Amino acid sequence: MARSGRYKVPFRRRREGKTNYYKRKRLVVSRRLRAAVRISNKYVLGQIIEAHLEGDKTIVYASSKELVKSYGWKAGTKNIPAAYLTGYLLAKKASEKGIKDAILDIGLHVPIAGNRVFAFLKGLADGGLEVPHSEDVYPDETRVRGEHIAEYAKYILENENLGEEYYKKRFSQYLAKGLKPEELPKHFDEVLKKIS
């Protein structure tokens, strides 16, 4: 640790890698609602948050876990299609509460065009929530629907070197829930229709 008088210890949440205070200050000072997205090891979580002096207040909440319980989602809960559907669900819940616009809060996620955070943003925008952004950051429509996963599953089945055992091992979670990964785009459309 530095011993000079000019060394400053960062705030605890910054040291733990949880909060970027520079970015947070700019979001809070804007006095607008924040559409926060966080991606854990299992789920995609979204919230509409209002800043107050005594602490942030969550107005609306949506999770990819909710997709499984309430809408019959059988695929992964942290991939691009799940991120899009979670954003879409959050936007629908926000419109029921009369919320029309917000600004995106991605926390410490790295803003790379086409990743899950921006799939969530596309879901928000398609769900009717106005969020200032550029459409250049959206993932391809084929990736949002999960067509890349379906194509990979077909490739494994057709490839003699990999075979059916690798297919069953790779997509065991999908198959256990009764979903063939080749049918993911169709399943995505069904769940999207249920949310609408």
Place of tokens 């785009």: 185
Given this model, what pLDDT does residue 170 score?
92
**Cα 190 to chain centroid, rounded:** 19
Given this model, what pLDDT does residue 1 score?
56
Task: Report helix, strand or coil for 33.
Answer: coil
> What is the rounded distance in angstroms from the CA atom of residue 152 to the CA atom of residue 175?
15
Per-residue pLDDT of 99-150, as tens digits, reads 999 999 998 888 999 999 999 999 999 999 999 999 999 999 999 999 999 9
Is 5 a residue whose pLDDT tops 90? no
Question: Domain coordinates of the chain in residue numbers?
Answer: 12-144
Regarding the domain delimited by 12-144, which CATH topology (the fold level of the hierarchy) does it fall under?
A: Nucleotidyltransferase; domain 5 (3.30.420)
Per-residue pLDDT of 165-186, as tens digits, reads 899 999 999 999 999 999 999 9
For the chain, the average pLDDT equals: 92
Is 2 a residue whose pLDDT tops 70? no
Is 19 a residue whose pLDDT tops 80? yes
Residue 14 banded pLDDT, cuts 50, 70, 90? confident
Tell me how far CA of residue 13 lies from CA of 17, 21, 62, in angstroms: 6, 9, 24
Task: Report helix, strand or coil for 87.
Answer: helix
Given this model, what pLDDT does residue 179 score?
94
Per-residue pLDDT of 33-84, as tens digits, reads 999 999 999 999 999 999 988 989 999 999 999 999 999 999 999 999 999 9
Task: Report helix, strand or coil for 100.
Answer: coil
- Helix (H), strand (E) at residue 1: none
The structure's pTM equals 0.90
